[in-house]
Each structure stands twice: as C-alpha cells, then as structure tokens.
C-alpha cells in the first residue's frame, strides 16, 4: 500500500508539468501533442492498440470519447452510434436492435451503445471507421473489443510507468444532454471515475472536454479536473473576445477547430487570428483540433497528388499552430505532431 501511495504521488508530481496554462512559464514549454482517439490515423480509433501506439510515438495525452451503456458504464466510442466502428452490423443476434434515432437534432440509423449492456458490447470487435481512406488501419479490424473508460485510465497509468513520463487522459463527454434525457447522465459518472482514478485535481494529467456548455458547467461542480470548451466553425461567436470571456467563467481552456486559429482561404494557410492571444489574456489554454495528414483534410496548397488518402504537407499546419502559441494540438498522427514540434 505504501509503495502504491508513493507511485501515485510521484505520478501526480510529474504530471503537474502538463498543466498547459498560458502563464509565461507554461508558454516557454512545448505544446502538448494530444492523440485524437489514439493514433487513429494508423489503428482503428478508440482501441487500446491505438492508444499504446500513440504513447510510443510520443503523445502527451490520449483522448477517449465517452458514451454510456444501457447498464450505466462509460465506454469509449466516438459516437453512441456504433455501426461505423464495430462489427455489430454483421452480428445477427443484434439485427433487431437497429433503429432510427434523433440525436441532438440529427436523424441517425444504426445501433446505439445505450441499447447494449457492457457485456454485450464486449462481444463486438472494433473496426476502422474510414477503411477506404485508411486501409492500412483497416488491416487491424477485429482484433480488439470496445474499451471501457476505466481500461483507458489504467492503460495511461501503465504506459506512464513504462515510458517514464506522465501520460494524460483527455475524455470528451459525447451528447451528454441526450444521454441525460434517456436516464443515463454522464457528469456524475465521469466525476466519480476520475476521483476513483486519482484524477480529481487541478494538476492531475486530465482535461475534460465537451461541445455543450451546460454539462461542462454542471461537471465543474462535481470535479476539480480542468475543463475545455470545444468550439466548431459553426459557432465562431464563441471565439470572439466576448465569447471567450463567457467561457472563462466555467472552463480552463478552449478547443477550437484549428482553422479558427489558422484560417484557410484560397486553398492556403493564412495569418493567425487573434484567438490564441485573446484566450491567453483571459487565462485560457488553447488546444485546437484535429490535424490530419491526408490530402482530404488539408487546404489545396498543402496537398500532394490527387489521392485523397495520400499524405500532404501536414507539417506546415503543425508549424503554423505552434507558431501561433497554442498550448496543445489534437492529431490523428501523434508521431507527425511530435516531429513538427521538434
């Protein structure tokens, strides 16, 4: 027990260096590389193998998106619709579970995590969501099950010991208002999991993110873990000076879609916006998402060839974001983010 206490204490002390705040001392440190769903450009997303590879490639944080099972467990999937990331469509025993739902205003047809118990989900196998774009990743289809959040936290601690450096977790609450509407609220479950995992502090290697402000505010009353408000390009008002002031009242940082920091016009990267400077002036960290290497996701001037799956000059995007002063970057290719960071 004493040895375990010392290990946890050493882990907590070392992880304090990952605070990523906008103070002068923090700005002098290198920005975080956050593995978006693991090394999801190379392995099926949200699998333990994707997270392990991300750590091997130098990622500082691994990101699990969270949904809730029918029996109340936090599991890791990008969306609660699991047809695109598991083999459930090929499982005749679950054919009758396919249905149409409206999730946050969007009509979706498929299979949904909240209609499965954890034991049932564990019988499924993960697969690559974009096999045509990432066929090398699709070669790993079927090898792993859907992980629980507890398994990802355990992996982060084990990898911290193996790598000799703290590996943080960066969970996202997915559709929490919808989940609450069907009797499966997420905020308390997540807060309890973080407390049990020794991650209930301002210096713990954890950030909690969400696109919805209300659940993030509710979570702030349940946990001391740092919070990040995600912002898409459809809500640019949230990144104005006034919008950022509102965010600073309940969050520790902002996670904008990266073109809100480095605009792309005429197929090129343009000079940085004022977002980073404005956020830092309010004490907010800035962690943009998601840098991907494929031509499909890059402005025309950075593409190489005509193949959407071919890799373009993604290093230029990383360099522009780092030069703009961001505190961290989400990427599907952590190795490339680490290399560009130097």
Question: Could you give the residue numbers annotated as active site?
Answer: 36, 78
Alpha carbon distance 291, 69 (integer Å): 30
- CA-to-CA dists, residue 78 to 82, 234, 237, angstroms: 8, 20, 25
Question: What token pair was written down for 188?
Answer: 């308390």
Q: Cβ-count burial of 265 within 10 angstroms (0-12 exposed, 13-18 middle, 19+ buried)?
A: exposed
Question: What token pair was written down for 238?
Answer: 């949230």
Strands of the sheet containing 61-62, edge to edge, are: 168-169, 61-62, 32-35, 328-331
Q: Which of 240, 339, 287, 303 is nearest to 22 (CA)?
A: 287
Q: Which of 273, 228, 268 is nearest to 252 (CA)?
A: 228
Question: What token pair was written down for 95?
Answer: 């054919």
Helices (DSSP H) in 16-67: which residue ranges? 24-27, 48-56
DSSP string, 159-186: HHHHHTS--EE--EE-SHHHHHHTT---
User: Residue 134 contacts by C-beta under 8 Å, 6 or more apart in sequence?
Assistant: 41, 42, 128, 309
Secondary structure of 123-145 in HEC code, one letter for each residue: CCCECCCCCCCCHHHHCCCCCCC
End-to-end CA distance of the chain: 40
Alpha carbon distance 166, 211 (integer Å): 26
**Do the beta carbons of residue 328 and residue 252 sit within 8 Å?**
no
Which DSSP letter does residue 325 get?
T
């Amino acid at each position: 027990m004493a040895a375990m206490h010392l290990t946890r204490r050493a882990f907590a002390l070392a992880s304090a260096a990952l605070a990523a705040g906008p103070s002068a001392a923090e700005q002098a440190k290198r920005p975080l590389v956050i593995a978006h769903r693991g090394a999801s450009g190379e392995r099926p997303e949200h699998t333990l193998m994707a997270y392990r590879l991300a750590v091997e490639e130098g990622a500082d944080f691994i990101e699990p998106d969270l949904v809730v099972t029918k029996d109340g467990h936090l599991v890791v999937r990008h969306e609660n619709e699991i047809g695109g990331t598991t083999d459930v469509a090929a499982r005749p025993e679950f054919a009758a579970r396919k249905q149409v739902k409206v999730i946050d205003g969007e009509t979706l047809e498929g299979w949904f995590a909240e209609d499965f118990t954890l034991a049932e989900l564990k019988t499924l196998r993960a697969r690559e969501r974009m096999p045509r774009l990432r066929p090398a990743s699709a070669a790993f289809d079927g090898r792993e099950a859907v992980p629980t959040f507890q398994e990802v936290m355990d992996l982060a601690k084990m990898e911290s010991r193996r790598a000799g450096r703290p590996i943080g977790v960066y969970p996202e609450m997915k559709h929490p208002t919808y989940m609450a509407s069907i009797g499966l609220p997420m905020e308390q479950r997540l807060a309890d999991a973080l407390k049990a995992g020794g991650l209930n502090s301002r210096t713990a290697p954890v950030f909690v993110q969400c696109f919805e402000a209300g659940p993030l505010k509710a979570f702030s009353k349940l946990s001391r873990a740092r919070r990040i408000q995600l912002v898409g390009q459809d809500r640019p008002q949230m990144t104005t000076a006034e919008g950022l002031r509102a965010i600073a009242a309940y969050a520790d940082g902002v996670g904008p879609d990266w073109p809100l920091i480095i605009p792309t016009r005429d197929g090129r990267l343009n000079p940085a916006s004022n977002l980073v400077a404005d956020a830092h002036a309010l004490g907010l960290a800035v962690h943009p998402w998601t840098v991907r290497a494929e031509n499909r996701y890059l402005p025309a001037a950075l593409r190489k060839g005509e193949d959407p799956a071919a890799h373009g000059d993604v290093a230029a995007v990383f360099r522009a974001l780092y030069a703009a002063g961001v505190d961290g970057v989400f990427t599907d290719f952590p190795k490339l983010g680490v290399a560009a960071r130097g």
